[in-house]
Amino acid sequence: MQVADLYATDADIEYYKMPALIDDKGYFPEYKALFVYRSDLLTRFPDLREALHALESRISAEDMIAMNGRAKLHDVPEEEVVVDFIGRTLGKQMALVRENHMDKLVRVWITLAS
């Protein structure tokens, strides 16, 4: 038997067609993603709150595995993966612009809110 240590949305799950074991005893805590941002961010960008809420519960484990696979295994830039996902999921079309990480994040969320 071969065993690999993976996280639930690892790109290798799909790539290697690896079956993931089910934690039917609830031994491991459930993974929940959350947004972490500076306390003044919503003051500076008030439309950001609505944009963040638009993504709540919209990214399934299968979606995340596929997105991680595109970025890690197929060398697609993460920004492109995100823009494609948002376009498919929320119907929001965005232009991909190269920026620093914070500028990019704020621009994407504000675009979602509009």
Q: Which uninterrupted H or E stretch holds 78?
A: helix 78-90
Average pLDDT over residues 78-96: 85
CA distance 59 to 57: 6
Residue 64: the pLDDT is 92
With a cut of 90, say whether residue 67 has pLDDT above it: yes
Average pLDDT over residues 51-79: 89
Q: Are 92 and 110 in contact (CB under 8 A)?
A: no
Residue 6: the pLDDT is 81
pLDDT, averaged across the chain: 83
Q: Evaluate the CA torsion angle 94, 98, 101, 107 in order and state its sign.
A: negative
